[in-house]
Amino acid sequence: MTRHLNISDIREAARRRLPKAFFEFLDRGTEDEEAMVANRAALSALRLKPAVLKDVRRIDTSTDILGRKSPLPFAIAPTGSAGMLAWRGELAVARAAGRAGIPYTLATSSTSTIEEIAAVATGGMWLQLYVWDDREASLEIVDRAARAGAEALLITVDTPVMANREYNERNGFSFPVKPRPLLVADILSHPRWFAGVLAKYWMTGGMPHYANYPRAMSGPVTQAPPRRANSASVTWDDIGRFRDRWRGKLVLKGVLDPADAVRAADIGADAVVVSNHGGRMFDAAPSSIEALPGVVAAAGDRLDVLFDGGIRRGTDIMRALALGARAVLIGRAPLYGVAAEGEAGVARVIEILADELERSMALAGTTSVGAISRDCIWCSQPTNG
């Protein structure tokens, strides 16, 4: 096994392992990828203040996330595709998260059941929900998650319609997935993925199914998840219904506008995730980090504010915490890990980010997560003359 040094190395290993259609599905954004590029550019433009001559021998990266003590200020974001990037990929990611003691978010469209994930996600399990047209079915999956011990329900609110991802069309990777010549050639030229993922599924019962959908809606992952025509009708009234039904932490994922944060607090949500969906939905949206301060100000002490979008280094985690996020979610990074090397790859991603975070905290003179604040941000001094 290669000892990768950073997330970029692991991304490159994933790129080599996966058919192009799958890698691009995981790695890319939407339309011209402005929002995705903006996520990285805006993080990198935010400079942190170096601190000197402070005792930083002991750094404590632990914090509370949604009411649970976590050794690290980050959790796994919901990503509904790990099962096709690696053999039983969601279980591998959840296991690595559990071993590291951090929360794992199970996506609605995962191929592992809520119960299977609950058994290994020992750092806490959250359920992400795309609300379906059939609201009763959505409430039922929420009840099932509660029975399995999920601690938080993350309702994704930034996907009223399907995103426009032209590369999927070009790669012959559109739903329902069919053995088009381009896709077949792509798959056959990646024999390790073919043997380790696709062929293994075929030999053990066939293509994986959406494991948490009601029977009438479920099907193999080669068919589109049945939410195309329905999320467009989801409104604040629905959120109120989920609040009434769900006793755990309620989190709205995909909030960028401070006014929506206020509304989330009014309706009884516990937290929001400031997120532009990794630049995969609305290409004209602001970068997540640009939106973070406004949401933090609007949330005050009524909501916890989580953040995602573009986290690739420990310094990025620090940047988000400095602007007021309580914790961050990582989306693509663990997917690169699982595609490259399964559970061990995800464990390495977590280890790298934890090491980098600890180093940045020391360099910024902060020995605990609570000490990371806006004071850590470098403000350029005006030059004289």
Ligand X SMILES: Cc1cc2nc3c(=O)[nH]c(=O)nc-3n(C[C@H](O)[C@H](O)[C@H](O)COP(=O)(O)O)c2cc1C
Contacts to ligand X by CB under 6 A: 26, 39, 77-81, 107, 109, 128, 156, 253, 275, 277-278, 280, 308-311, 330-332, 335
Known active-site residue 209: no
CA distance 335 to 110: 13
Query: What does R_g of the chain's alpha carbons equal in angstroms?
Result: 20
- From the CB of 173, what's the least distance to ligand X, in Å? 12
Question: Residue 124 or 310: which CB sits closer to ligand X?
Answer: 310
Torsion of CA 90, 91, 96, 102, to 10 degrees: 70
Displacement of CA 213 from its chain's centroid (Å): 20
Residue of 4, 190, 209, 277 marked catalytic: 277
3-state SS record for 184-221: HHHHHCCHHHHHHHHHHHHHCCCCCECCCCCCCCCCEC
Measured from each CB, the residue nearest to ligand X is 331
User: Contact at 8 Å (CB) between 157 and 167?
Assistant: no
CA distance 259 to 245: 24
CA distance 261 to 263: 5
CA distance 105 to 107: 6
Question: Residue 208 or 367: which CB sits closer to ligand X?
Answer: 208
- From the CB of 62, what's the least distance to ligand X, in Å? 22
CA distance 191 to 201: 14
Question: Residue 4 or 11: which CB sits closer to ligand X?
Answer: 11
**Helical (H) or strand (E) element with 63:** strand 63-65
Question: Residue 61 or 81: which CB sits closer to ligand X?
Answer: 81
Question: Residue 23 or 201: which CB sits closer to ligand X?
Answer: 23
Residue (of 87, 141, 50) closest to 362 by Cα position: 50
Question: Residue 4 or 280: which CB sits closer to ligand X?
Answer: 280
- From the CB of 377, what's the least distance to ligand X, in Å? 21
**Helical (H) or strand (E) element with 304:** strand 304-308
**What end-to-end distance do the CA atoms of the chain give, in Å?**
56
Q: Each residue of 28-56: b (16+ CB within 10 Å) or e?
A: bbbbebbbbebbbebbeebebeeeeeeeb
Crossing angle of the two packed helices 288-299 and 34-45, in degrees rounded to 10: 70
Question: Residue 84 or 322: which CB sits closer to ligand X?
Answer: 84
User: Contact at 8 Å (CB) between 161 and 232?
Assistant: yes
- From the CB of 81, what's the least distance to ligand X, in Å? 5
Residues tagged active-site: 277
